[in-house]
C-alpha cells in the first residue's frame, strides 16, 4: 500500500502554543502508512513550498489553515494533484480549550486522512475544457440587445435569436419611458440599428431554441428558423409588395388596434428591416411576387434547423402580461372602451393607430380617463401574488401623457398602494401628477358597468374614507401585471434550468448569483426571471454580458468533479434524486442518470444511496470508511 508525507504548518508560529507539534509528529511517525512527517512554518509562502523537494507521485497531507488559499498555492507551484488538506487551525487550535485536546484532535483528523489518502488511486489526468468563445442570446428585447452589444463590443461573436421578425420587444411599442417621458423608440431605435450593423452580431429572427446539449464552454444549440416566405438576403425593405397586397390582418405591433397587410414589416424602425408574410392570412394571389423586382418572395419556404456551437447562453426572452379576460368584472373585450395599458401606449403614440389622439372606439375624444391598478397582480388564484413592479409608475406616466395632450382632461387612478421607489419616480411622476391635478383613489374597484350613453361607470369603495361611489368616465385603462411567457417552461426544460413557483426562471442564488442559473454558463436577464422596468432590464443585460466576457477571458475552464452512477449497483430507488438540490439527477428508464452540466459535485447523493451505487471522485466508501475508522482510533 502506498505511503504518504505529512506536512505540519505552525502558521507563522502562532499554533505552537495551541498544538504540541512534537507529540503529533511522534504519533504519526509510528504509523506504517506514513513515510515522513515534517514541521514547517508558513506553507502559504511559495519559497517554503519550493524548498520541500516534493515529488509529483507523492501522496501528501497538508495540516495547516483553510484549504481555500493553500490549495491554490500548491496547484500553481507544483504539479501534484494528490493532496489532502486538514484544517488544524480553525478545527483544532481555535476550537479546543486546551493544548492537549487540540493535539489529540489533530492526531485523529490526520490519522483519518492518512487512511483515506493511501487508498486513493493514481491521479487522473484531466484536460481543462477549451472554451468556444461565441455566445447565444435568446430574446431581442432591450435586455437581450444590450447584452449582445456588450459582448460583441468586447470582440466576441454573438448569435441573437428572436421569435418575432424584428428586435425591439415591448420597449419598441411604448410611447414614452418613465420617469423622464423620453421617446421610447428614440432611445431604443439607435441601439437596434447599432445591433444590426455590428459585424460580431448574427441576428436570427423568426426562430426559437429547440434543444441544448453540452456544458459550459461548449454548448450545442439546435435552433428552428420559421419560414418568413421572403428571402432576407434579397429583400431591401422597399415595401412595394405591401402596396399591392389586397389582404389585411391584425397588427400585433399596434395590439390589433389597426390592421396591416398580410405581407408586412413590423414597424418603421424594425431591425432587420425585412418584410415577412403571415401565411395564415395570405391568399397566394401572387401580386407581391409580381411587384418584387428582386425576386425575394418564396411562398414555398420551409422551416430550417441550425446548430450553433457556443460557450455561453443568456436567456432574455421577456414575459407576458396578465390576461384581463380573467377578470370578468371589468368586461375587457366586451365594453369597447375598456383597454389595457399597452393598448393605451399605442393609442397615445404619434405613430399609433390614431396618430396620438386619445379617442374612444366611436371616434369621440376621451375627456375623462381612469386607471385601475394591480389587475392580475397581488392576488391569489389566477393572478400573480407579487407586485409587478412597473405598473404604478407606468400609469402615472400615462396619466401625465393625457394631460400633455389635453390640459382640460380629467384623470383618475384607482390604486391599492402606490409604489414609486425607482430613481426619479417620486419626484418626476408622483409629485408632478399631484401638481397636475390627477386624482388618486385608494380602492380596488369591484365592477365596471356601462351607462345608456355608452360611458363606463366604475363601482368602488374608497378604503381611506370608507365611502362607496360610482365614477363615470370615457375610457378605463387596466394596468396589467407581468406573468411568465407561455413557452418559458418549455425553454427552461430544453436548457436544463429551473423555474420558480411563479413560473419565472430561477436564479442560482437570489442574492449572490442573481443572474446565474443552476447550469454553469447559462445566465438570465430581464423580465423572464421576474418583473423589471426598462432600466433594470438594460442593467441586467450588461451585467450578464460581463459574466460572459469574464468567462471568455479565461484560457480554459476547470470543471468540478461530478457524480457517477454505477449501473451494476443502481436499483433505481430514486433517493439520490430527492437529495440533489441542483436537480442534476434524473430517472432514465429503470436507472438513474447524472446531468454533468448541472452537477456541482457536492456529494449529497453519495451519502443517500443505500446500494453504494453513486461515486464522486475519491469520495467513495472505500476511502470514507477507513477515514472514519482512523479518526475514531480503530
Closest listed residue to residue 27, CA positions, set 1, 9, 6, 12: 6
Same domain assignment for residues 417 and 431: yes
Same domain assignment for residues 138 and 100: no
Cell 405613430 found at: 351
Which of 271, 302, 333 corresponds to the end of one domain? 302
Whether a cis peptide bond, with omega within 30° of 0, leads into 186 is no
Phi-psi region at 537: left, alpha or beta (left = phi > 0; alpha = psi -120 to 50):
alpha
For residue 372, being part of any structural domain is answered with yes
Residue 103 sits in a domain whose CATH number is: 3.40.50
For residue 393, being part of any structural domain is answered with yes
Same domain assignment for residues 550 and 568: no
As a whole number, the mean pLDDT across the chain is 90
Q: Is the pLDDT of residue 332 over 90?
A: yes
Same domain assignment for residues 117 and 137: no
What's the rounded Cα separation, in Å, for the pair 603 and 605?
5
Cell of residue 437, nine digits: 391635478
Residue 265 sits in a domain whose CATH number is: 3.30.70.20
Same domain assignment for residues 184 and 313: yes
Indicate the range of 36-40, 377-381, 464-468, 516-520 predicted with least confidence.
377-381
Whole-number pLDDT of residue 183: 95
Q: Where do runs of H (alpha helix) occur along 198-286? A: 240-244
pLDDT tens string 408-442? 999 999 999 998 888 888 988 999 999 999 999 99
**HEC profile of 156-206:** CEEEEECCCCCCCHHHHHCCEECCCCEEHHHHHHHHHHHHHHCCCEEEECC
Cell 401638481 found at: 435
Does the pTM surpass 0.85? The reply is no
pLDDT more than 70, % of the chain:
95
Average of per-residue pLDDT across 622-633: 77
Average of per-residue pLDDT across 327-352: 95
CA 190 vs. chain centroid, Å, equals: 25
Same domain assignment for residues 184 and 310: yes
Which of 97, 121, 145 corresponds to the end of one domain? 121
For residue 632, being part of any structural domain is answered with no
Average of per-residue pLDDT across 576-581: 87
Same domain assignment for residues 328 and 452: yes
Same domain assignment for residues 278 and 385: no
Closest listed residue to residue 274, CA positions, set 198, 196, 353: 196
DSSP-derived letter for residue 329 is G
Average of per-residue pLDDT across 365-369: 95
pLDDT tens string 277-314? 999 999 999 999 999 999 999 999 999 999 999 999 99
Average of per-residue pLDDT across 121-142: 79
Structure confidence at residue 214 as a pLDDT band (50, 70, 90): confident
Number of domains in the chain: 5
Whole-number pLDDT of residue 413: 97
Residue 211 sits in a domain whose CATH number is: 3.50.50.60
Same domain assignment for residues 257 and 310: no
For residue 629, being part of any structural domain is answered with no
pLDDT tens string 460-502? 999 999 999 999 999 999 999 989 988 999 999 999 898 998 8
Cell of residue 168, nine digits: 425591439
Same domain assignment for residues 457 and 325: yes
pLDDT tens string 385-411? 888 889 999 999 999 999 999 999 999
Exposure on the CB side of residue 631, measured as CA atoms within 13 A: 13
3-state helix, strand, coil in the chain (%, to 5): 30, 25, 45
**Strongest mean pLDDT among 52-56, 454-458, 485-489, 570-574:** 454-458
Phi-psi region at 322: left, alpha or beta (left = phi > 0; alpha = psi -120 to 50):
beta
Which of 70, 99, 121 corresponds to the end of one domain? 121
For residues 557 and 128, is the Cβ–Cβ distance under 8 A? yes
For residue 623, being part of any structural domain is answered with no
Structural domain containing residue 360? 320-483
For residue 626, being part of any structural domain is answered with no
Indicate the range of 107-111, 113-117, 162-166 predicted with least confidence.
113-117
Same domain assignment for residues 377 and 400: yes
For residue 622, being part of any structural domain is answered with no
Q: Is the pLDDT of residue 550 over 80?
A: yes
Give the DSSP H/E element, type plus range, for residue 596.
none
Same domain assignment for residues 93 and 166: no
Closest listed residue to residue 3, CA positions, set 77, 52, 44, 60: 60
For residue 546, being part of any structural domain is answered with yes
Amino acid at each position: 500500500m502506498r505511503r504518504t508525507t505529512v506536512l505540519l504548518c505552525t502558521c507563522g508560529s502562532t499554533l505552537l502554543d495551541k498544538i504540541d507539534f512534537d507529540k503529533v509528529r511522534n504519533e504519526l511517525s509510528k504509523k506504517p502508512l506514513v513515510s515522513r512527517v515534517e514541521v514547517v512554518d508558513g506553507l502559504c509562502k511559495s519559497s517554503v513550498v519550493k524548498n520541500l523537494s516534493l515529488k509529483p507521485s507523492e501522496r501528501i497531507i497538508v495540516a495547516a489553515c483553510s484549504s481555500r488559499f493553500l490549495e491554490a498555492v500548491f496547484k500553481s507551484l507544483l504539479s501534484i494533484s494528490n493532496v489532502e488538506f486538514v484544517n488544524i487551525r480553525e478545527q483544532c487550535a481555535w476550537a479546543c480549550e486546551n493544548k492537549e485536546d487540540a493535539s489529540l484532535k489533530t492526531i485523529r483528523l490526520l490519522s483519518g486522512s492518512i487512511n483515506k489518502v493511501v487508498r486513493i488511486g493514481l491521479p487522473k489526468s484531466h484536460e481543462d475544457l477549451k472554451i468556444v468563445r461565441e455566445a447565444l442570446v435568446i430574446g431581442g428585447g432591450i435586455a437581450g440587445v444590450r447584452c449582445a452589444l456588450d459582448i460583441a463590443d468586447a470582440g466576441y461573436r454573438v448569435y441573437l435569436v428572436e421569435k418575432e421578425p424584428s428586435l425591439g420587444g415591448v420597449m419598441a411599442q411604448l410611447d414614452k419611458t418613465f420617469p423622464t417621458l423620453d421617446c421610447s423608440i428614440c432611445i431604443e431605435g439607435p441601439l437596434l440599428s447599432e445591433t444590426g450593423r455590428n459585424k460580431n452580431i448574427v441576428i436570427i429572427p423568426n426562430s426559437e431554441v429547440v434543444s441544448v446539449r453540452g456544458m459550459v464552454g461548449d454548448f450545442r444549440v439546435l435552433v428552428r428558423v420559421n419560414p418568413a416566405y421572403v428571402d432576407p438576403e434579397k429583400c431591401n425593405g422597399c415595401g412595394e409588395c405591401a402596396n399591392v397586397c389586397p389582404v389585411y390582418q391584425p397588427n400585433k405591433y399596434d395590439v390589433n388596434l389597426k390592421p396591416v397587410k398580410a405581407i408586412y414589416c413590423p414597424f418603421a424602425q424594425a431591425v432587420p428591416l425585412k418584410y415577412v408574410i403571415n401565411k395564415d392570412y395570405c391568399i397566394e394571389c401572387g401580386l407581391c411576387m409580381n411587384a418584387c423586382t428582386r425576386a425575394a418572395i418564396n411562398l414555398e419556404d420551409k422551416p430550417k434547423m441550425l446548430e450553433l456551437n457556443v460557450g455561453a447562453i443568456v436567456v432574455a426572452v421577456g414575459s407576458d402580461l396578465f390576461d384581463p379576460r380573467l377578470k370578468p368584472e371589468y368586461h375587457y373585450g366586451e365594453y369597447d372602451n375598456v383597454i389595457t395599458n399597452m393598448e393605451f401606449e399605442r393609442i397615445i403614440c404619434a405613430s399609433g393607430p390614431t396618430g396620438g389622439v386619445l379617442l374612444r372606439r366611436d371616434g369621440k375624444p376621451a375627456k375623462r380617463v381612469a386607471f385601475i391598478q394591480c389587475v392580475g397582480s397581488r392576488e391569489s388564484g389566477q393572478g400573480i401574488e407579487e407586485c409587478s413592479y412597473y405598473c404604478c409608475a407606468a400609469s402615472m406616466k400615462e396619466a401625465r401623457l393625457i394631460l400633455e395632450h389635453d390640459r382640460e382632461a380629467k384623470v383618475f387612478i384607482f390604486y391599492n398602494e402606490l409604489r414609486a421607489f425607482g430613481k426619479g419616480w417620486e419626484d418626476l411622476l408622483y409629485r408632478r401628477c399631484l401638481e397636475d391635478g390627477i386624482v388618486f383613489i385608494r380602492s380596488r374597484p369591484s365592477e365596471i358597468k356601462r351607462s345608456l350613453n355608452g360611458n363606463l361607470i366604475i363601482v368602488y369603495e374608497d378604503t381611506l374614507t370608507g365611502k362607496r361611489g360610482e365614477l363615470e368616465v370615457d375610457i378605463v385603462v387596466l394596468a396589467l401585471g407581468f406573468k411568465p411567457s407561455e413557452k418559458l417552461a418549455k425553454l427552461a426544460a430544453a436548457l436544463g434550468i429551473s423555474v420558480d413557483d411563479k413560473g419565472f426562471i430561477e436564479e442560482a442564488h437570489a442574492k449572490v448569483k442573481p443572474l446565474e442559473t443552476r447550469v454553469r454558463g447559462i445566465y438570465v436577464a430581464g423580465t423572464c426571471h421576474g418583473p423589471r422596468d426598462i432600466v433594470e432590464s438594460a442593467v441586467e443585460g450588461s451585467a450578464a454580458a460581463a459574466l460572459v466576457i469574464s468567462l471568455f477571458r479565461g484560457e480554459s475552464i476547470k470543471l468540478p468533479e461530478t457524480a457517477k452512477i454505477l449501473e451494476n449497483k443502481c436499483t433505481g430507488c430514486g433517493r439520490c434524486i430527492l437529495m440533489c438540490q441542483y436537480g442534476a439527477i434524473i430517472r432514465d428508464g429503470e436507472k438513474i442518470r447524472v446531468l454533468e452540466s448541472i452537477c456541482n459535485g457536492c456529494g449529497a447523493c453519495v451519502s443517500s444511496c443505500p446500494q453504494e451505487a453513486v461515486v464522486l471522485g475519491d469520495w467513495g466508501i472505500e476511502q470514507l470508511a477507513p477515514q472514519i475508522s482512523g479518526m475514531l482510533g480503530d
